[in-house]
Structure 1
Amino acid sequence: MFLIIGARKRARTVIDTHKVSALVRCLPIHVPQEVTVLARRTSHRAYRRLITASVTVAVLALGGCTGSDDDAKSAPDTGPSVIAPGRPGEAAETLSAADAAKQRSDDDTPNSADFDYARMMIEHHTQAIVMTELAPKQASSTPVKRLAERIAASQGPEVETMKAWLKNHGGDKKSGKGSGEHHHDVMPGMATDAQLKTLRAAKGKAFDELFLKLMITHHNGAITMATDVLSQGNNIQIGEMADDVIAQQTSEISRMREM
Structure 2
Amino acid sequence: MNQPRLLRLWRQMPKRRTAAITVVAVSLVAITAVVRSAESDHTTRIVIGSSTTDDESTATGQQAGDPPVILPGRPGESSEVRPGSDVVIDPPQYNAVDTWYVQMMIPHHTQAVQMAALAAERTDHVGVRAFADRIRASQAAEITVLKSWLAARDLPAGDHDHDTMPGMQTEQAIRELAAARGAGFDSRFVAMMTAHHEGAIEMSERVLTGGSDLAIEELATSIAAEQTVEISRMQELLVS
TM-score, length of structure 2 as denominator length: 0.69
What does residue 230 of structure 2 align with? 252
What does residue 25 of structure 1 align with? 20
CA RMSD of aligned residues (A): 3.5
> Does structure 1 residue 143 correspond to structure 2 residue 121?
no
What does residue 5 of structure 1 align with? none
SS at match of 1:81: strand
AA in 1 matched with 2:218: E
What does residue 174 of structure 2 align with? 196
Determine if contact 1:82/1:100 at 8 Å carries over to the other structure.
Answer: no
- Count of matched residue positions in the alignment of Structure 1 and Structure 2: 194
In the alignment, structure 2 segments of 5+ residues that lack a partner are 1-15, 45-65
Query: How far did 1:189 drift?
Result: 0.8
What does residue 107 of structure 2 align with? 123
Determine if contact 1:110/1:234 at 8 Å carries over to the other structure.
Answer: yes
What does residue 148 of structure 2 align with? 164
Match of residue 182, structure 1, among 134, 154, 160: 160
What does residue 81 of structure 1 align with? 70
Question: Over residues 190-245 of structure 1, what are the superposed CA-to-partner deviations in whole Å (9 max), with x where a residue is unaligned?
Answer: 11122112111111101100100111111111111112112211222212211221
Q: How does 1:47-86 map to 2 (within 5 A)?
A: 49=41, 79-82=68-71
Question: Over residues 92-118 of structure 1, what are the superposed CA-to-partner deviations in whole Å (9 max), with x where a residue is unaligned?
Answer: x9676578644xx25x22211111111
What does residue 67 of structure 1 align with? none
More helix by share: 2
SS at match of 1:32: helix
Query: How far did 1:144 drift?
Result: 0.4
AA in 2 matched with 1:143: G
Query: How far did 1:151 drift?
Result: 0.3
More strand by share: 1
Residues 232 and 99 of structure 1, relative CA distance in 2, 3 Å threshold: farther
Q: Show structure 1 runs of 4+ deviating over 3 A.
A: 21-24, 26-31, 38-41, 49-52, 93-102
Query: How far did 1:165 drift?
Result: 1.3
AA in 2 matched with 1:123: P
- Paired with 2:191 and 2:79, the residues of 1 have a C-alpha distance of 52
Determine if contact 1:32/1:80 at 8 Å carries over to the other structure.
Answer: no
Determine if contact 2:190/2:234 at 8 Å carries over to the other structure.
Answer: yes
- Paired with 1:30 and 1:256, the residues of 2 have a C-alpha distance of 57
TM-score, length of structure 1 as denominator length: 0.64
AA in 2 matched with 1:25: A
In the alignment, structure 1 segments of 5+ residues that lack a partner are 1-20, 42-48, 53-76, 174-178
What does residue 227 of structure 1 align with? 205
AA in 2 matched with 1:133: A
